Amino acid sequence: MEINSYTLSQMVFWNQFQYFSIPFISSLMLLFTILFTRKNFILRKLHLFFIFLIPSITFILRLTNSLHGLYYTRIDIIESSGLRLLLLDKGTGYYLQQAHSLAAIVIAVFLLISRIRLNRHSENKQYIVLIAASLLPVLGILFIIFDFSGSGIDYVTIILPGSLLLMTYAILKYDFLEIKTKAREASFENSPDGLILLDTHYRIMDFNKSATSIFPVLESVKGTCELEEV
């Protein structure tokens, strides 16, 4: 829509529209990674405040840029390869947002790498895919900062769809959020049949509520216990 707009005001509108969510994506990626790799971590309001502070400031600066020019010092239209593109001269707010995005992604990648070291080799494919998805926006940010083409194109908006597709692939392909596991646990707990899970040595590993209604003695079982004893 931005490329197919005819006036500068229309192009600026669609540029603002796409950036309603983009400043928050790196923070959401970091939050997602923290919650998955540090399951015992207690996330407090102060943590959320610092994670989303810069993106919130960016959101406001972009909407009010015409008043202060802190995010973009100049906005104009240029012709490139037959396309009308926005020429955006970056300001202090822009580089502050990019620094925050880089920091959030670097921390997320560090957490994923540290998790890989603790896992069995067979479980690491999902983390490698997510690391690749996290690093793609970094390339876009570097292209923007150095602007090798001199066109002022926002490469992050071009690269982000590929990054998000990789993240979706990691979640669905490798059960990254343990959706299948949680579904199995829910069906186990809510089954009307009494289910008792045994290991190969006939020790009771788990049981559901229906099993305790049939065998009340199970309520006194703590940890693993020999089936014959019960």
pLDDT digits (tens, 9 = 90+) for 37-76: 876 778 889 999 999 999 999 999 999 998 999 999 988 8
**CB-facing half-sphere around the CA of 106: CA atoms within 13 A:** 7
Q: How confident is the model at residue 229 (pLDDT cuts 50, 70, 90)?
A: confident
Q: Is residue 48 a contact partner of residue 30, using CB atoms and an 8 Å limit?
A: no
Name the residue with higher pLDDT: 127 or 121. 127
Q: Is residue 113 a contact partner of residue 67, using CB atoms and an 8 Å limit?
A: no
pLDDT digits (tens, 9 = 90+) for 173-183: 776 666 667 77
Q: How confident is the model at residue 230 (pLDDT cuts 50, 70, 90)?
A: confident
* Structural tokens at position 152: 């002022």
The pLDDT of residue 149 is 66
Name which of 31, 93, 33 is nearest 62 in CA terms. Answer: 93
Residue 169 has pLDDT above 70, yes or no: yes
The pLDDT of residue 210 is 92
> By three-state DSSP, how is residue 223 classified?
coil
The pLDDT of residue 60 is 94
Name the residue with higher pLDDT: 77 or 224. 77
Q: Is residue 102 a contact partner of residue 138, using CB atoms and an 8 Å limit?
A: yes
Name the residue with higher pLDDT: 187 or 59. 59
> Average pLDDT, whole number, for the chain?
84
Residue 156 has pLDDT above 70, yes or no: yes
Q: What span, in angstroms and rounded, lies between the C-alpha atoms of 158 and 153?
A: 9
Give the dihedral of Cα atoms 165, 170, 172, 178; nearest 10 deg.
Answer: -140
